[in-house]
């Protein structure tokens, strides 16, 4: 059994089927990407897995345990954590405090939380920012903070929701480096991403969503040649390049 097993989850909003029959299996250290056009249901799938939406059907198993419809904080305590597409830093607090709040998921002790937060910031090359107030960070800093906070909770699975959106190429490279490092530590990563360059360089497998349905999945080089994927999402230009 894989670390994270998502079995045929579905989510409807009134008559609209946002996600249907979505399945996924993710193992330790693996990086899997979820792509698809806007409105395909990517973030909805995330929200169901992380406990923000109740699933209308299907199951989410984590380490063999059914976590479907647990609260986000319970899911985080078990070792699955997500970031947000629109970053949500604790604006009035410092970068260090932001990351400490993540670290408190594993300890009640101030010194341990502080040490853990400093370690994570150091590991991700963000130590210099630690005293800055989160609201004063540029967008790239806030995106990295979003990841650092999540990593501080000591997850086994990390769900990254469009972490590279809005970043410049150089900043994107930095974040790609961060994700690789985390993956080398054994954290399983499931990411939603629009930037194909990122997807191609990071993902070992890709799942393509369209109107809530999984239309393709497999290794990146095959998926990008799939005619249905080209038609629904990538377009001719991307496929030939």
Partner 1 sequence: MSADVSNKITRNPRKSLWHSLFSTWDRTQITASFILVGLMAISPLFVDSPYFMGIIILAALYAFIGISWNIIAGFTGQLLIAHIIFLALGGYTTIVLLNTYRVSPWVGIFVGGLVAASAGIIIALITLRYGLKLDYFALFTIALLVALRTLFLKWEFVGGAVGMYLRLAKPSTAKMIFDSKPPYLYIVLALLTLGIVIQYLIYNSKMGKYFMAIREDEAAASALGVNTSRYKTLSVIIGATLAGIGGGFYVMYVTFIDPTGLFNLGVNVEIVMAGPIIGGLGSLSGPILGAFVNKPIAELIRGFLAEERSGITLIVYGLFLILSIMFMPRGLAGVFHSLYLKIKRPSKEEA
Give the residues lining the site for partner 1 (CB under 8 A). Answer: 50, 52, 71-74, 76-77, 81-84, 88-93, 97, 100-102, 104-105, 108, 110, 113, 149-150, 152-153
Q: How far is the CB of 10 from partner 1 (least distance, A)?
A: 22
Is residue 1 within 8 A of residue 165, CB to CB? The reply is no
Nearest to 146 by CA among 165, 61, 185, 169: 165
Q: How far is the CB of 81 from partner 1 (least distance, A)?
A: 6
Q: How far is the CB of 103 from partner 1 (least distance, A)?
A: 9
- Taking the least distance from each CB to partner 1, the nearer of 23 and 127 is 127
Q: How far is the CB of 100 from partner 1 (least distance, A)?
A: 6
Burial group, residue 140, by CB count within 10 angstroms (0-12, 13-18, 19+): middle
- Taking the least distance from each CB to partner 1, the nearer of 60 and 199 is 60
- Taking the least distance from each CB to partner 1, the nearer of 99 and 208 is 99
Q: How far apart are CA 59 and CA 10, in angstroms?
A: 9
- Residue identified by tokens 């647990």 is 70
Nearest to 151 by CA among 183, 119, 120, 107: 120
Is residue 193 within 8 A of residue 164, CB to CB? The reply is yes
- Taking the least distance from each CB to partner 1, the nearer of 36 and 51 is 51
Q: How far is the CB of 112 from partner 1 (least distance, A)?
A: 10
3-state helix vs strand vs coil in the chain, percent to 5: 40, 25, 35
Q: How far is the CB of 123 from partner 1 (least distance, A)?
A: 17
- Taking the least distance from each CB to partner 1, the nearer of 76 and 199 is 76
Burial group, residue 107, by CB count within 10 angstroms (0-12, 13-18, 19+): middle
Nearest to 23 by CA among 37, 39, 2: 2
Q: Which two tokens stand for residue 41?
A: 């249901």
DSSP state of 105: T
- Taking the least distance from each CB to partner 1, the nearer of 87 and 215 is 87
């Amino acid at each position: 059994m894989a670390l994270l097993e998502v079995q045929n989850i579905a989510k409807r909003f009134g008559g609209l089927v946002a996600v249907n029959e979505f399945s996924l299996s993710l193992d330790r250290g693996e990086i899997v990407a979820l792509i698809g056009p806007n409105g395909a249901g990517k973030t909805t799938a995330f929200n169901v897995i992380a406990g923000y939406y109740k699933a209308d059907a299907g199951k989410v198993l984590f380490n063999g345990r059914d976590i479907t419809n647990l609260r986000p904080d319970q899911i985080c305590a078990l070792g699955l954590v997500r970031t947000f597409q629109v970053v949500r830093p604790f604006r009035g607090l410092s970068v260090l405090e932001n990351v400490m709040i993540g670290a408190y998921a594993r300890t009640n002790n101030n010194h341990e939380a502080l040490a853990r937060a400093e370690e994570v910031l150091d590991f991700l090359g963000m130590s210099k920012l630690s005293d800055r107030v989160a609201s004063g960070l540029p967008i790239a800093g806030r995106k990295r903070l979003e990841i650092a906070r999540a990593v501080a909770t000591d997850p086994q699975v990390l769900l990254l929701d469009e972490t590279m959106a809005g970043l410049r190429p150089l900043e994107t490279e930095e974040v790609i480096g961060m994700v690789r490092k985390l993956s080398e530590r054994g954290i399983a990563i499931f990411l939603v991403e629009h930037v194909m360059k990122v997807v191609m360089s990071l993902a070992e497998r890709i799942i393509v969503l369209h109107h809530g349905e999984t239309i393709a999945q497999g290794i990146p080089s095959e998926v990008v040649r799939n005619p249905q994927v080209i038609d629904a999402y990538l377009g001719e230009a991307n496929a030939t390049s």
